Amino acid sequence: MVERLPEEGKIWYNGEFVDWKEAKVHVLAHGLHYGSGVFEGIRCYATEKGSFIFRLNEHVNRMYRSAELYKLKIPYSKEELKNAIKETVRINGLDACYIRPIAFYGYHHLGVNPESCPVDCAIAAWRWGTYLGEEALENGIRCTFSSWRRIDPNTLPVMAKATGHYLNSLLAVLDAKERGFDEAIMLDNNGYVAEGPGENIFAVKNATLYTPAAESSILPGITRDSVIVLARDTGYEVVEKPVTKEELLSADEVFFSGTAAEVSPIREIDNVTIGEGKRGEVTGEIQRKFFDVVHAKEERYMRWLEPV
């Protein structure tokens, strides 16, 4: 069972804090009908040095880039949005949480053309544990190649984290769950591996990491970037290139990266055991490093942590 959202606390909504239950939209809001919004998923971690938001700048930058691709003008500066995000965490008394800022075309008229629609903006934050479960972080998950291809750059700007794009992810997730798997892996339109419905993917072969590049229709993940930096700083070679299904199936290790999934090993794909069928050594090392970094235990990467 998926946990229900809380109903207490405050949500920042168009510049003001409102009670959780009062943060509502009209049923004729443009964003509801056409998926015309952009959002972010951000984590805040409790550490011995206080609470820190992981790579807040990068998340906010990506949100504005996503908005630009849809000509959606967020009516706040990046600085204002960052401050609002931090304030949302503080006002809700959260030390560790998931943060969801969203901007979408609101209520005005119902043509597809969003011109004249206001841009509404909200930020919510709530306590949230692991996405795929504690077990998953340790023992890995079972995935399937989806028959749904990842959205294509000739159809939608895949680099944008836009609300409507997630219909593609939804189909892949539903299909994977119906067939008894934990998560889907989507291919791009050329048949190369793209990513999960909400995660980027890495393969490890002979201690080198491989991950699909931008050309494979991926969302440029901030955790993906962090993993690349951490792996290289640890001495591993990381290659961004088109990755085939075969390369995943014959890899020593495969893992997902993402704000929600963090670093999650994949132990099986379509009933084929990956490596030894458990979290591999390299994945374990990267995962440990990642958790040390987000928990402020690595001085070198404190630049990624924004104090609340």
Residues found near ligand PLP in the complex (CB under 6 A)? 41, 169, 195, 198-200, 219, 221-224, 257-259
Residue 278 token pair: 């458990």
Closest approach of ligand PLP to the CB of residue 257, in Å: 6
Cβ closest to ligand PLP, residue 89 vs residue 117? 89
* Residues taking part in catalysis: 161
Cβ closest to ligand PLP, residue 221 vs residue 275? 221
Cβ closest to ligand PLP, residue 249 vs residue 260? 260
Closest approach of ligand PLP to the CB of residue 195, in Å: 5
Cβ closest to ligand PLP, residue 72 vs residue 117? 72
Sorted by sequence, the CB contacts under 8 Å of residue 82 that are 6+ apart come out as: 56, 57, 60, 306
Cβ closest to ligand PLP, residue 117 vs residue 256? 256
CA angle in degrees (0–180, nearest 5) for 269-273-276: 135
Closest approach of ligand PLP to the CB of residue 16, in Å: 27
Q: 183-187 and 141-145 as β-strands: parallel, antiparallel, unpaired? A: parallel
Q: Name the β-bridge partners of 102.
A: 39, 122
CA angle in degrees (0–180, nearest 5) for 203-247-275: 60
Closest approach of ligand PLP to the CB of residue 18, in Å: 26
